[in-house]
Structure 1
Amino acid sequence: MPGKENSRRHAVVIGASIAGLCAARVLSDSYSQVSVYERDELPGTAANRATVPQDRHLHMLMARGAMEFEELFPGLLKDMVAAGVPILENRPDCIHLGAAGHVLGTGQTLRDEFTAYVPSRPHLEWQIRKRVQAIGNVAIQRRSVAEPAFDPLRRRVTGVLLDPADPPGDPEFVSADFIVDAAGRGTRLPVWLTQWGYPRPTEQTLDIGINYATHYFRIPDGLIQERVVVAGASHDQSLGLGMLCYEDGTWVLTTFGVADAKPPTTFGDMVALADQLLPSHFADALAQAEPVGEPAFHAFPASKWRRYDKLDSFPAGILPLGDAVVSFNPTFGQGMTMTALQAGHLRRALRSGADDVVAEVNRATAKTTFPVWTMNAIGDTSFHHARTEQMPWWWRPSGALFDQFLGAAESESVLAEWFLRRFSLLDSLYMVPPPRIIGRAIAHNMRMWLRQRRERRGAAVTALRSP
């Protein structure tokens, strides 16, 4: 594998996505100059971007993600709250969480501290972008990267070739000591690797077939106490939804279908689905909703994990980050948090003086990706009819056991809180209950079984005694 970087003069980031902005923040501490190249025009306010079609749909910032972003950008969370971003502190009554057909109940108080922030994706990206733009040695430029420049003798990437600016001409070469590929799911790094004589990474995929439909709306204040509303798809219900209240008081309603199921396409039909999947007080509130703008649609065919960590050889000087490495089922809302974790890996590798920063970050990313990817895969194959060629035999039995756990969490607040914290990636990335939690779930289910058995016997006796 390539050796330790000897120069930290200039770093380049491909893409000004959240991943790219986090990478630029990290690189600014170690490189004299950081250039971020983004083909899209970046708005000066919190607004949707043409090259980020998914930002029109519901995004969730997990509690762990909020902590990771705050570590990279101190003061971010405070400023978001000052800008009107809802904050939920130990308020389970502000969360309605339906998972795999089960509505989890946490009671009125949480035993452990739990804080959630609810920014829209455009607002979060804008808050991060303006902080990166304020860093003295970082420059964000509206230019497209055609491809990196590779030196076969040194076996390293030496810079990037930029698409010619006006007037048209030859590509412009920009020298760089280190490049971060944050181009997202559409990254061309696997193609470039083959052009440079390296193998492509193996890919793990889950064909999930998600279709999105989203509409924004407003309702009078006070009609809905909850600020985070989730009704996930299940084995017997391929449609689900999420509903959040954002910083400007506008609500977003995203409906989705898994296994290629088509969600509603009009606001009226979206509300009808919400009436079907949510408790009645939501229907009463949505009856007074005023739609804002037009509906937005998006498709997400498959989750994908490119296993760069398994390659025996890799060129020096280039690192994939964010969705360029792994893109998760977006209905679980974990993508931004996992990107923040990757940025943290890069920061630690640079600070530690690792001999091979790229290999170190790839290994660390694989380590944090594995538990989240595995649990998502178990959930998708067990409840969402996902297809994959790489399914171990134990996934479906694990899904069945977790279905029983979620059933217990409907009325056992300790189990529900444990799931909420793990689902938010707060206590651990592993969704594996410890023995005390497993024991509590078994005991609860046993009590429920005995109660139902007594009720059935009582009903049978009553029926026999009836004339």
Structure 2
Amino acid sequence: MRHAMVLGAGIGGLFAARALSEVYDRVTVIERDRLPVEAGQRRGVPQGRHAHVLVTAGAQALDRLFPGACAELVAAGAPVVRDFAEFRLAPGGGSPLRLLGPAPEPFACLVSRPFLEAKVRSRVRSLSNVVVRDGVAATDLAAVGGRVSGVRTAGGTLDADLVVDATGRGSRAPAWLSALGYPAPSRERVPIDLMYVTRRLRPRTLPALVVGVSARPGRPRGIVLFAQEDGRAILTVSGYGGHHPPRDPAGLLAALADIAPPDVVAAVRAADALGDPIVAHFPANVRHRYDRLRRFPAGFLVLGDAICSTNPAYALGMSVAARQAEALRDVLMAGEHDLARRYFRAAARPAHAAWAAAVGGDLALPEVPGPRPLPVRLARVYTGRLLRAAERDPVVAHQFLRVAALQEPATRLFRPAIALRALR
């Protein structure tokens, strides 16, 4: 195979480039932004200023795509959870999961988004058959005889045998497909009107490396507090429509005190703030059903948030992109016959898991508007019982965490052994 092109040098695009490098002679990544030399914020990734994490399945995929990557992050200063005593997650909004013993490694990458992106970008640039070009934006697809043959840019047409769109939530792929005479994918959208306010900190001490308290009915606000590289930490307070968190430091601390345990509040009060609070808005979970299309041009695929973008409070986007990059590599190694159908079917599996977790969690809150058919209502009741059981029962807690971290399918939560513990 000859030349593959990736649109977007974010996490999804970098993962895609690594996967393609194993199959194609040349891979070119083009990025609209000017990329920083070291870790740094950039205009095209405004969400990079907020809390990010690669959950277990994503961290494991990172290590498979870039062997030794997690160890390199730790050596560069990334905190690592080695024991569940350092991990306090309350997905039911109350008491934390009862998790015991050592955590699997790699368990999670506790680093800022710019730090992670810089390290992965360095690994991609070191690949002999990959070139990363910044300051180049794709304006349209080029096609010959029903096959995508490259992309058009302000500087001219760039030819490629395969184009992978990893431009994220703002992807123009549906419009590009329509312009070529192909149907755009159907779109599923669940509005949630989520606002999240983030503050970077330098703590004196932390009660745990990972703290998370989810929103719950009657209190549709949640918090995460993650340790990060260089002795820093990041706090994000999120809230749904009508319950958006305050934007000022004093109000944000008061909102934290309504949600977090006292030792967490005390640690944040004692920490040095690194800048002012930063605000972001996430209007809706959105999924494009490329896996349902019957007609699709050869030479073009889509990956990451351009397929499925879910509530960032669940921290699944980067991990889904990593799993989809692995799926891309695997289907390409099996040949290009019927490539789009095979790839989109494989890419839909991690996307569906993230969608079910995020949308199911959001619709469990009566404050979030939206239809709730009988299966959704029944699942909400069962999940509530399951989470209450997980606060006391380590068997249920560990099973829930494996599903939440995309290591196992959600059907594992309905196994008789788990269901009996949840309903007892």
TM-score, with length taken from structure 2: 0.95
Aligned ranges for residues 338-353 of structure 1 at < 5 Å? 338-353=320-335
Deviation of 1:337 after TM superposition, in Å, equals 0.7
| Distance in 1 between residues matched to 2:105 and 2:141, nearest whole Å | 46
1:175 pairs with 2:167? no
CA–CA separation in structure 2 for the residues paired with 1:147 and 1:312:
22
Count of aligned pairs: 423
Distance 1:374 1:288 in 2: 38
Separation in 1, partners of 2:283, 2:3 = 37
Which residue does the alignment assign to 1:156?
Answer: 147
Identify the range of structure 1 (284-293 vs 321-330) with the bigger mean alpha-carbon deviation: 284-293
Counterpart contact for 1:133–1:139, Cα < 8 Å? yes
Q: Which residue of 2 aligns with 1:87?
A: 80
Give identity over the alignment, percent: 35
- Aligned partner of 1:373 among 355, 359, 366: 355
Seen in structure 2, the aligned counterparts of structure 1 residues 364 and 241 have a Cα distance that, compared at 3 Å, is same
Give me the whole-angstrom Cα distance separating, in 1, the residues matched to 2:174 and 2:369. Answer: 23
Q: Specify the code of the residue in structure 1 equivalent to 2:266.
A: D
The alpha-carbon distance between structure 1 residues 354 and 316, as it changes in their structure 2 partners (threshold 3 A), is closer
Take 1:200 and 1:38, find their aligned partners in 2: how far apart are those partners?
Answer: 24
* 2:351 partner SS: helix
Query: Among 14, 17, 28, which residue is 2:10 paired with?
Result: 17
How far apart are residue 433 of structure 1 and its match?
A: 3.1
**Pairing of 1:247-326 with structure 2 (within 5 A):** 247-259=229-241, 261-326=243-308
Q: Which residue of 1 aligns with 2:368?
A: 386
In structure 2, give the amino acid aligned to 1:187. Answer: S
Residues 1:103 and 1:80: Cα distance change in structure 2 (over 3 Å): same
Aligned equivalent of 1:187, options 171, 182, 188: 171
Mapped partners of 1:285, 1:137: distance in 2: 47
Offset, 1:388: 4.3
The alpha-carbon deviation at position 313 of structure 1 amounts to 0.6
Equivalents in 1 of 2:197, 2:174: separation in Å? 31
Give the Å deviation of 1:259: 3.0
Name the counterpart of 1:455.
Answer: none
Q: Does 1:333 align with 2:326?
A: no
Give TM-score scaled by structure 1 length.
Answer: 0.87
Q: Which amino acid aligns with 1:326?
A: C
Query: Per the alignment, in what secondary structure is the counterpart of residue 413 of structure 2?
Result: coil
- State which of 210, 217, 222 in structure 2 corresponds to 1:240: 222
Structure 1 position 108, deviation (Å): 4.6
1:206 maps to 2:190: yes
Give the SS at the match of 1:353.
Answer: coil
Cα distance per residue 1:236-256 (max 9 Å; x no partner): 112211110101111111111
| 8 A contact 2:193–2:284 mirrored in 1 | yes
Structure 2 SS opposite 1:305: strand
* Runs of 5+ unmatched residues, structure 1: 1-7, 165-171, 444-467
SS of equivalent residue, structure 2 residue 108:
strand
**Larger displacement relative to structure 2 (225-234 or 268-277):** 268-277
* 1:358 Cα offset (Å): 1.9
2:28 to 32, 35, 38: 35
**Relative to structure 1, is the Cα distance of residues 39 and 112 closer, same or farther in structure 2, using a 3 angstrom cutoff?**
closer
1:408 alignment partner, one of 384, 389, 395:
389
Partner of 1:132: 124
Task: For 2:58, give the aligned amino acid.
Answer: G
- Are the equivalent residues in 1 in contact too, given 2:191–2:283 (CA < 8 A)? yes
Q: Is 1:208–1:384's contact at 8 Å kept on the other side of the alignment?
A: no
Q: What displacement does 1:99 show?
A: 1.5
| Contact 1:372–1:430, Cα closer than 8 Å, also in 2 | no
Where has structure 1 moved over 6 Å in runs of 4 or more? 111-114
Q: Distance in 1 between matches of 2:14 and 2:419?
A: 40
Indicate how the Cα distance of structure 1 residues 198 and 76 shifts in structure 2: closer, same or farther if over 3 A, else same: same
**Does structure 2 conserve the Cα–Cα contact (< 8 Å) formed by 1:230 and 1:243?**
yes
Instruction: Give 1:312 deviation, angstroms.
Output: 1.2
SS class of match (1:60): coil
Q: Distance in 1 between matches of 2:228 and 2:21?
A: 31
Is residue 99 of structure 1 aligned with residue 99 of structure 2?
Answer: no
Question: Which of the pair has more CA radius of gyration?
Answer: 1
- Superposition RMSD in Å: 1.8
Q: What runs of 5+ residues in structure 2 fail to find an aligned partner?
A: none
Q: Secondary structure at the match of 1:149?
A: strand
Q: 1:430 to 1:107 in 2, by over 3 A?
A: closer
- Per-residue CA shift, 1:388-441, capped at 9, x if unaligned? 46x543101210111111112222222222222221122335463311111122
Structure 1 Cα separation of the partners of residues 351 and 170 of structure 2: 19
- Range that drifts further, 106-115 or 397-406: 106-115
Work out the CA distance in 1 between the residues paired with 2:291 and 2:408. Answer: 25
Q: Is the 8 A contact 1:201 1:306 kept in 2?
A: yes
